[in-house]
Each structure stands twice: as structure tokens, then as C-alpha cells.
Amino acid sequence: MNEIYSIEFIADAEEELSDAFDWYEEKKPGLGDRFYNEITRHLSIIESNPFTYACKYGHDLHFASLKIFPFLIVYWINKKTDIIYIISIFHTSRNPKKFWRQ
């Protein structure tokens, strides 16, 4: 695989990441950084090989499950432009139907 992929966050995913960071940081100083580092580690894996994580639900959405925190990184790959769109930083307690927000 020789493609070079780039990652772009949609606005909702950026807000979810920021909200989760703030929530963890309020609970314990430094925990927000730990959460962010875990996200960054998974984003590096996704960027180097976006097909590492399974595509589910027949919507071409991939789901990367964090190991330490109860979150999924939900993303879609535009194979024509080699852009990976992060659609959601999704807490696993939420309703999965939220993936398909309009």
C-alpha cells in the first residue's frame, strides 16, 4: 500500500473530541491529555493504514475502538482523494443511530 492518506475531522467530531477532553480533564488533571494521546495513537494507525479497522453496518464506516477509554473513532475513507474523514469520536454508551445524524 503506497497511498499517503490525510485525516480531516468534520466539525461534529472535533466538538466531540474537545468535549471529551474537557470532561476527562475536569475529572482529573492530566486525564484529558491521556485521552488525547490515546486518540492520537489510533489516528496514527488509521493514517498509516486506514483499512486496519473493520468496516461495519454496510455504510463504509470504519470503527476504531480505544483500548483505555470507552470511545470509538468512526471514520470514512475517500479512496479517490486519499482523505480519511473522522466523523465521530463516539462514546460507546450513546445510541449508535447518532452516526447517521443529518
Q: Give residue 1's pLDDT band: very low, low, confident or very high (50, 70, 90).
A: very low
Mapping DSSP onto H, E and C, the string for 50-92 reads CCCCCEECCCCEEEEECCCCCEEEEEEEECCCCEEEEEEEEEC
Q: Report the CATH superfamily, name and number, of domain 6-94.
A: RelE-like (3.30.2310.20)
- CA dist., res. 34 & res. 16, Å (int): 16
Q: 31-79, pLDDT tens digit by residue?
A: 999 999 999 999 999 999 999 998 876 678 999 999 999 999 999 999 9
State the average pLDDT for the chain.
89
pTM score, whole prediction: 0.87
Determine the pLDDT at residue 60.
86
Domain locations along the chain: 6-94
Check: CB of residue 35 under 8 Å from CB of residue 76: no
